[in-house]
Each structure stands twice: as C-alpha cells, then as structure tokens.
Structure 1
C-alpha cells in the first residue's frame, strides 16, 4: 500500500511539473495533492463487523485531484483517494484500505485571485477491502488560498452518503497543496490572461473577459456609463433624442444634438426651428421651409425680416383704393427708416379671367403700388416688381371671399 502511494505521488508531481511548463492555452486547470482524514464512518454490512474508528488519518494515505474550469464560477473536479481506516473494536489494530473515486461540480462563492471559497456536489465510488464498492452522493465546501499565480493551499470537507446498504457514510476532510496550470488567470473568470482583454478584472467570455457591470450588453471599457444601463453608447436617453442623459441639458424633452439636447428655437412657433426656417418671423408650413403658402418661391422672403404687407384690389382693377393708400403711406414711412435695401412688389389675381389677362393685370397692380411709393419719396431702385397672375392663390377661388384675398399685391422685404 505504501509503495503504491509513493509511486502515485511521484507520478502526480512529475505530471504537474511538466504541465506547468508546457501548457498555456484554453481554460486553467488545477491539480492538488492532499493528506486526508476519514471521520465518523458508519458501517452498514452483514456479519456484525461493527463500527470503524471515529477519526482515521493514514500517514501514507493521500487524495489527488484534478480540476478544470467550465465557465464563469463553475468547475469540475475528479479525485482519487488512497488511505486506510481502523476498526473501533474486535481487533483495534486491524487496518482496512479505503479507495475512492469521486467527481464534483464546484461553484466559486467568490472569484478572487487570492481566495476562492466554494461549494460542491457530486458523487463517487468507495471501496473498503472485501466489502466491495458502494455508490455515494457527495456534498461539501472547500477553500483555495493562492500564494502565487500558480501555487497555493487547498482545504476541503465533503460528506459522502452511501447509497448501498453495505456501504459506509462518512466525512472526508483534506488539506494540501494546489497547483494551477494551463495558463495564468489573474481574475479567475475562466479566461487565461493570454486570451483575456481585461486580465485583472472578472469578466465574461462573450466580452473577451471584460465586465459589463450594468448588464446593458455593452462592456465597461466601451460603455460611457458603465454603472447605469443604457443603449446609447451604454448611457440612457430618456427623451430618445440621440443625446445621452448625462450630457443632455434637457433630458426630459427631445431636442437637437447641436443644442445640447434641448429643442431648437422656433420664434414663430410653426414647428420649423429658426435654424431651418426661411421665414422665422412668419408662421408657415413644414413642407414649405417654414414659409406661408404664398411663398412658394422661397427666395422672395429672407430670414429675420418683417413679414410681407398685403394690398387688396377690386375685381379686374389695378387702381389703389383709399384704404390701401393709407397702408402704403405707412409702408413708405417704414422704408425710409429701414436699412433694408430691396423690396419685391409681387402682383396676384383671382381666376376669373384668362391666364394671359390675369398675368398682365398682376403686373399692372404691382406697377401701380411701385409708382405710389415712388411718389411718396421712395427710391425706385429699391423696388422690384413682378407679376404672377393667378399662379399662387392664398385661398380658394370658389368663393368671393377667397377670390378677394387672391386679388392682392405683396410688398416683401428682401435684403
């Protein structure tokens, strides 16, 4: 028995020594060699063989184990035990050899380079001399204390419950040396340093060994908000405006990236921000660049200028009414004080005549307004006249009220 123990010990140490030098890929392995004690076994066997001694520690006995990380905090261990036990009476000097093969699934309670406490469950086979083999169900706890990356101390206490009537149920306590090989794994996450993008921080295999603290699917080193779950570069975006909440000055209102996440100014409240509104002072349509329907030719209205002044005409006439003259007097006074250099005077009609007739009438109306303003002292070079006929109505031509609105001249400030 002692010669067999010595031979197996030498073989195990040689194997570990070779692997420590040669193996440096895949997940880490550990090998341990321990002394062990069998505690409180109870014999359930025929012929009244009696009980075994409560504590049995065989100097020449040992337990050797080989373990491999499976994933995360899980590992699988296989072990072989060669030891002896004594009877408690009849012949107290009689020894019985005990051989056990066991397999355990271990779960680390703490994944730390220095200390790894764990719980374990599994099963095995135990032979006690002529009693034969018995199946056992195993459960217990253990602790690995690492002195260096590859070397440490290990302790384990396992209860083995015999599943056969003639087997023995007992505790097995062991303490010994443990060696790590197959690659260095500083953070004990099951990924060796050579393949771990974050070798000193416990991480996940799907992120190359790096952590995802907030569990948002973005690993910490690429996460702008590693402690707060979010989908925008790892940060939350409550208003879904594309600006992460930590950088959003208006986190509860959808805004624009160029304005720190706040809504862009919209002077005329037409839903088109001033930045994109070609008529920022006049409420208009979104599909017309923020300008009113009449301004289909957007170039006629310039940003940050007063809105157009409207002069209305009677059916088929180009003469200026007395009421419109009062309006034009105010316009002339404004132009004299204004810094605006150019005004467009555009004429329009309803649809009661032919297109050709209406075009001529719109030009006549525009010229009539220009002549009135020139007569009031306005430099004619500031005034540009254009006629559009019935092309740009502002209201329906099916009613007299609508047609009246379409018979107009617009005075539009340009530059």
Structure 2
C-alpha cells in the first residue's frame, strides 16, 4: 500500500491505470428476513437502521478490479464477517444469533457513471454480478446488484462507499445487504519514459517530457516543445520559433551574421553606422556614407575638376564635366598646335621629315598628351606646283609620315588619323613664292 501511495501524484485515468484495489470494512444487514421478497415495499424501510448491521471491527473486505474500457470494469471481492444479528422478530427487534461466521466471494461488472458524466473527483457507479456466500459453513449462490461511488482525494487514492443487494437462490440463505467502505488505489499504468504521463496520452512516450506538451520535451526550457523549436538546445523566444536573439536586434542568432552586435534585418543583423547600405564589417569607411561599389567609401575626385574618379576619364588631369573630366582643346590650344605644325619641314618633293623639325614635333607631342582623350587629324597640304595627282599623293604621304612619328614617340595611334588634301585647300596665293610656302604645310586639328 505504501508503494502504491507513492504514486498518488501521478496522473491517473481508468484507461491509464486499469487496476484498482480496495481494502476496507463491510457491514451485513439481514433485514428483510424470512419472506424472500426482494422487491417488496418493505425492502428499504430500515436501510439505515444500524441495529441490524453486523460489523467486524477490522479489515474485512478486499477487492481487485480491472478497467476493460468504455466505463466498464470487472472485479472480484472477498469478504468476511461475524453475524450477531440476523433479521427481526415480530416486535421489530433484531434477532440475536451466536457469532455465525460469514464469508463471501463475489464477481461484479461495474459501469462508471462518473466517466460518462465527465466527473473526476466524485465517481458514482452501478454494478451487477453474482457470487457465493457462506454463513456458518452453509453456502448458497447470490445475484447481486451494486450501487456505490468513489471519492478521489488525489488522482490515484480515494474513498469507496458501496451497497450490494444480495438475492439468495436458496431458502436457507436469506436475502440481505452488504455495505462496504474502504480505501481505493488505482495503479498499473504504463509510463515508459517516466515523465508522469502515461503512454496512452503521451505524444512522445519514449522521451521524458512535460504535461503541457502532452509528454513531449522542452530541452531548453523556453516554453516551446522541441518538435516545434528551431533551436531545441538554446532557450529562445516564441517569435523566433524558440531561437535566441542575443543582441536584441530582431534577427534570430541562427540567421544573424553579427549575432553579438545589434544590426538591421535588411543586412542580416549586421550594423551600418553610416546608413549607406554597406555593413560596417565590409565598409572601408564605416562612419562616412559611400556606395557599395567603392566599399562604402565616397568616390574621390583626385584632380578636383568636379568629376568623380570613377567617372573621370582623366582622373589625374583637371578637366571639364562636359568632357568626362578631361581637359578640352580650346581655340587657343588649337591655334598653337597648328602654329607648331606649320613649321615642320620636309625634304623637297619627299615625305621625309627634316631633322631640325624634331624639336617642334616634341612640343606638339607634349600638347597632344595633355588631352589624352581627344582625337586629332594630321592633315597634309601642298602648293599648286606640279600635277594635282602628284600633289595629292605627296600630301597624304607627308601627313602619314607625321602621324607615324607621333605614334612612335608616345601618342596613342587610336587618337590620330592622317589625311592628304593636296592643293585643294590653299590658305594663300600660289602666285608668289611666299604664298606657295604658306600653302605647303601640315595642320593638326581636333577631330569633330
């Protein structure tokens, strides 16, 4: 009994704890007697008259029953008593007898009204069965009807009170009542994981868990059962499905690239001090806003011409916005360039450049390199002496000769083109020696 009482705080339902043992005392009431009329109008007239009761002042009843389902249970009861009063005389007084022995063995099928009515503490029940009763070693079979209730003090331990009407099949055994009061204990439920929740109601019968989660565990104790917890071994919040958010930035640690520093959801939990959309860890200028393409730093303008270096085709030379950060060739520069170009000298009737022209060509190269994105056309011109065809060919060769010299000495070939115009574009008269000298020239013009 002490062992079973130790389980009194364990959840108990009949289907979970199918066994019930009741130990108590019984009282045998032999009224009415003699008429064998079980359904007469006097059968309950002295039901509560204890003068007719025979009570043995010791444990005198034990019963064991097993729940079989749907509110039904089957049990066997053994009882003993000592009979001192058996029936009544004509005056209604109890008839005394000489301490007759009383033994009974009964089987009963009980139906729980408490389960049907969903009552937990107070559990009334009905029973029907039969047995065999001996009085002073003379026995007879009985048909029994039982009415009683269990009053549960805890989930497993309770008080049982019942009355059984025993109708005898033999005349020598009188019909009588047997009242019983005893301590009842339920036991026998299976709890594989020992978590106090029986396997029948345990959603996780092999793993110890909590009643709140139908027997399933919550390993990290965060109030979210493991099966629904994305981080079952780390206590977290329900809004993150049980995962922690150590830095409190609203991004669960498992999704947070910077779990120890509060950051932004848009940046996977990492901070962005300057608000430029580049996380501080990847930002070369974390306190100054700049584009991601420049690692979070503002684009520089090294030459101070108002065109950022990333867009400046001449980042080391101050230029103009209109010319993508490169300097523009002004009319003055163009004029200077052609003043130098006109002084380039060739051997008579040839395209070879005279050596004394190297210094002026060096000056021309210096000007061209100041405008690295500008394209130029080297143009050759002649006077009208000689045939037009010859003059055209000579102008083309001289223009090409100047271009090749410039390219050979550091000017990008892609920026230069060579054209010959022969005698078609004179700038002076061809009738005088001075005029013809002016017409024999090279021009370097900005390509449009």
When normalised by structure 1's length, the TM-score is 0.37
Q: Which is bigger in relative contact order (C-alpha 8 A, separation at least 6)?
A: 1
When normalised by structure 2's length, the TM-score is 0.34
